[in-house]
Amino acid sequence: MQFPEEIHFPSLQDAPALENAYSIAMQKGGVGKTVTAICVAAAVARAGRTTLLVDMDPQASATIYFKYLLKAPITESMYNLLVEGKPIKPIKLGRYVSLLPAHVDLAAANQLFAALPTTRELPNRVLARALAPYAPHVDYIIIDCPPSLDLLTKNALTAARYVIIPVSTEEMSEDALPNMLNTVQDVRRDLRNGNNPTLEVRCLLPTLHSAREREANSTLARIHEEYGKDYCIYPPVLRKTKYKKAVSQSVDVGSLDPELAGYWNEFTATMIFQESQVAP
């Protein structure tokens, strides 16, 4: 995976959604966005294809996930790329996965995008412009969003052709889902700030599911009843302690558990590679 030494950015007007980009987005925190992004990137790698993992969260969850693999301090981040317009070199995490890291200063972008002369004309399209030179050099771009519906998330949705929405099988997460879906609709229509009419909800992904819990099963059933006619709902990600162990080692959970590797391989084949359909 080779990225060009010299990078040229298009204008905001000429920065459409990237056909190979997927955003992982949900306004509710703690639903497994970062884990989903990392598991998908790892499954893409197992298939011998390349991924650029983009951390758009000022909490830098995806970046911190790999803290045991990063051999040197991070000196440039998404803030430099998006706010300063400075090309940054992705960090190689392996043969097939690279990372554009985040830093807490990225939070300032929510105000700066709408104020800076270089971005205020179409503030939703800043990420699309920034990623355009990288997109041709990887098979897929996976964008990990912050737990909010702010300008950073709207940038991620405007830059991506598809969005995957993790929703944990608990009532508070279910209650947040309508706002997330409304934001997708807003991004499709927002001509003033830069819209993305091609944005497609690839699937709703139930997460942190415990089949032994009545509340979790009831929530999952309601999600299917309420949204199943309009959206693909993928079989749930089960709550497993192996995920916590993977975080503590900065590794993909699939390297610890063949069964979980199989789940994410199948998810990626269906939702990312689009090689098959979800069984009814």
Question: Cβ(20)–Cβ(52) under 8 Å?
Answer: no
The CATH fold of domain 18-272: Rossmann fold (3.40.50)
CA angle 165, 139, 247 (to 5 degrees): 55
Per-domain residue ranges for the chain? 18-272
Please tell me the distance from the alpha carbon of residue 138 to that of residue 51, in angstroms, as a whole number. Answer: 6
1-28 pLDDT tens trace: 667 677 889 999 999 899 999 999 999 9
53-106 pLDDT tens trace: 999 999 999 999 999 888 788 999 999 999 999 999 999 999 999 999 999 999
Global confidence as pTM: 0.95
